[in-house]
């Protein structure tokens, strides 16, 4: 599965795990381990700042409309309602060696950036 295959899928769950979060799509899971930002219109908040969890939970039930991926820069996901989740992929924005995981199916392979 490629990241582009998330387009058209609906967010079923947002899961917060200590210092990262997961966006779940009734099967596929996108694990965000690096600096990330969520925007809509004039609102912009970075995870884990105050308000970021509420903003991320606003994605539940929204469909991925577009995904732009720039290797070693960022992954920007636009959802219905013009919500945009941006995950930074550059080494300076990472807490550890990895920034993003895609788990296409439960107990399946993990794609890592």
**pLDDT reading at 79 higher than 90:** yes
Contact between 99 and 89 under an 8 Å Cβ cutoff? The reply is yes
Q: Which residues of 49-77 are buried (b: 16+ CB within 10 A; e: fewer)?
A: eeebbebbebbeebebeebebeeeebbbb
Element (H, E) at 93: none
Residue 72 has pLDDT above 80, yes or no: yes
Q: Could you give the number of structural domains in the chain?
A: 1
CA 102 to chain centroid: 10
Within a domain: 113:
no
Is 85:59 a contact under the CB 8 Å cutoff?
A: yes
Q: What pLDDT, on a 0 to 100 scale, did the predictor assign at position 73? A: 95
In a domain, residue 93? The reply is yes
Q: For residue 32, is pLDDT > 90? A: yes
Q: Which domain does 77 fall in, by range?
A: 3-103
The pLDDT score that the predictor gives to residue 2 is 85
């Amino acid at each position: 599965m490629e990241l582009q295959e998330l387009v058209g899928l609906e967010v079923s769950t947002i899961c917060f795990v200590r210092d990262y979060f997961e966006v779940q799509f009734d099967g596929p899971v996108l694990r965000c381990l690096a600096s990330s930002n969520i925007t809509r219109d004039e609102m912009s908040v970075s995870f884990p700042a105050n308000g970021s969890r509420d903003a991320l939970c606003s994605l539940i039930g929204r469909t991925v409309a577009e995904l732009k991926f720039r290797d070693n820069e960022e992954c920007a996901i636009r959802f219905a309602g013009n919500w945009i989740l941006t995950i930074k992929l550059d080494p300076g924005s990472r807490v550890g060696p990895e920034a993003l995981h895609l788990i296409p199916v439960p107990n399946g392979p993990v794609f890592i950036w």
